[in-house]
Amino acid sequence: MSPETTIDERFDEIVSALRAEMPPTPAALHARVVAATATPSAPPRFTARRILRFAVPAVAGLSVAVALVVGLDTAIRPPSQENTALARDSAPAPETLVTPASGESGAAQDRAARTLAPTQSKSQSAPAAPAPSGSRAQDYNATIVLLVDGTEELSGTTQRALRTTRRLGGYLVSVNYTTPEPGAGTAAVRVRIPVSRVQAAIVEFSELGRILSQNTQISDLQQPLDEVTRRIRRLERNTARARGAERERLLAQIASLRRERTEINRRAAFATVSLDLTTHAPVEPAPAQGRLGRALDDAVGILLAELVIAAYVLIVASPFLVLLVAAFVGSRAYRHHADQRLLEQA
């Protein structure tokens, strides 16, 4: 008898009595058991442990294989034209919109629209904005967005823009200057420049910072101006023949049309330039990836998607799993209690 099986010596007598009367095993039972255990049964081919042992690596391997196949497919496939175009364009192209007047010749329209203003860095030569027409009244609007370095430069550049405007004979319409946080801010400056000097103004403004975008819009005003002039002349001829109230009415109409013509001429005399200054650098588009980079990207994306799906399934299934485990543990505890009661009553 080993030390760890030692029973309290108080019970030595009864223990000895019990051990002295070991009931013998019946011979028939011995024969039955020998017969039953003579031929070992084949272990089941599919057990839960065996299935798990192979299933888990198989599923993991399949996930990786799918990701590799997708990645290889991306590597083999030539890149799409859209991706190539995106890779080539590193900065937005400036826009130039020309609104021709009705009746203007096609050649004049072409001249107005031909010259574009490319986006250039500060160190390069100033861009050429479309030149205003020297023979026709036009409504000239230009917008330039410049990147400046910090709020100090923002302030200095705004001042320089205003000085340039005054020097070129223009005037300030409005300025909106904001610095919401240290080192960052914006300034929206709107000025009117004599149309004959607008190109010079645009050149000088462009040198104040790094051009992020440029937009020029030209609307022809000559046609409405000519129309107003014709109406004035017609009314003046009619006024010469009219008398009394009719004459007064015609004179009033002429005065109104003259005011309208003055307004058109004023619009045509000055170009509107909107200068937007900002300290926020634009987000640079990512450089184009090679085949291997795209393949790796796609493969990793697939793996991440599989992980996300697995996590989602686990999160959704976890309450049910918890309930299942709780039910299993509970049923075992109940079974144990019920067995104990059965043994105590038997």
Partner 1 sequence: MKPVTRSLADAAEKHLDDVYRYVLYLTRDPQAAEDLAAETFERAVRLWHRFDPARGSERTWLCQIARTAALDHLRAEERRRRRENEYAGRAVEEPERLVEPLSPWLREALGTLSAAEREVIALRVILDLDPTSAGRVLGITPTACTTRLSRALEKLERNARSARVA
The footprint of partner 1 (CB under 8 A) covers: 1-2, 4-5, 7-8, 11, 13-15, 17-19, 21-26, 28-30, 32-34, 36-38, 40-41, 43-44, 47, 336, 339-340, 342-346
DSSP-derived letter for residue 126 is P
Report in angstroms how near the CB of residue 55 gets to partner 1 at its nearest.
Answer: 19
Report in angstroms how near the CB of residue 38 gets to partner 1 at its nearest.
Answer: 6
- The answer to whether residues 187 and 175 touch, using CB atoms and an 8 Å cutoff, is yes
Report H helices in 207-243: 222-241
CB closer to partner 1, 27 vs 283: 27
Report in angstroms how near the CB of residue 344 gets to partner 1 at its nearest.
Answer: 5
CB closer to partner 1, 266 vs 336: 336
CB closer to partner 1, 6 vs 80: 6
Report in angstroms how near the CB of residue 335 gets to partner 1 at its nearest.
Answer: 9
CB closer to partner 1, 263 vs 339: 339
Could you tell me how far CA 213 lies from the centroid of its own chain? 20
Could you give the dihedral angle defined by the CA atoms of residues 222, 225, 230 and 235, in that order, rounded to the nearest 10 degrees?
180
Report in angstroms how near the CB of residue 56 gets to partner 1 at its nearest.
Answer: 20
CB closer to partner 1, 24 vs 180: 24
CB closer to partner 1, 36 vs 283: 36
115 phi, psi to nearest 5 deg: -80, 120
Helix, strand or coil for residue 201? helix
Report in angstroms how near the CB of residue 36 gets to partner 1 at its nearest.
Answer: 5
The CA–CA distances, whole Å, from 333 to 212, 320, 326, 341, 345 equal 73, 20, 10, 12, 19
- Tell me whether residue 182 is exposed, middle or buried, using C-beta atoms within 10 angstroms of its C-beta: 0 to 12, 13 to 18, 19 or more: exposed
What type of residue is 274? S
